[in-house]
Amino acid sequence: MDRLSKDDMALWHAWKRAAETVRARVVEDVAAATGLSDPDFGVLTRVAEDGKGSLRQNQLADSMGWHRSRLSHHLTRMEQRGLVTRRPVDGGVEVVITDAGRAEVARARPVHAAAVRAHLVEPLGKADRATFFACLAALAESCD
């Protein structure tokens, strides 16, 4: 079959619209309140949480789904703003969150949490959230 059915196309469009709209609203709320871009917030939270304050640059790139060159350029800008530093380690580079970066994450977390609740969690009832989560898990598993 060359084309999606009408129902399948409607599902695709509904998925895209919901995912893009919810994500955009969360990003806008965080940026408006903190000045952090979505990539800034993604880097800072991963280094602060996943790496406990530092993380190898290649691991960070993998966790964000970014090419190494894109991450390197972004980290240069974040270094210039005093949010992270980089240091050489055995055969690689380690990204370290600064005190200023930690302060930004601390300031952004409650804004991010409120935005996720407002735009994703609260519009769904408890039963719908469980069903939605199961659907997302099935989709993620099918793509692995």
Q: Which two tokens stand for residue 131?
A: 């069903």
| Domains of the chain, residue spans | 6-143
Distance, CA of 45 to CA of 50 (rounded, Å): 8
Tens digit of each residue's pLDDT (9 = 90 or more) over 30-80: 999 999 999 999 999 999 987 689 999 999 999 999 999 999 999 999 999
- Compute the average pLDDT of residues 23-34: 97
Q: What is the pLDDT of residue 51?
A: 66
**pTM for the structure as a whole:** 0.86
Q: What are the angstrom distances between the C-alpha of 48 and each of 42, 82, 83, 128, 135?
A: 10, 15, 11, 31, 29
| Percent above pLDDT 70 for the chain | 99
Considering only the top CATH level, what class is 6-143? mainly alpha
Mention every residue, 6+ apart, whose C-beta is less than 8 A from residue 119: 21, 22, 25, 26, 29
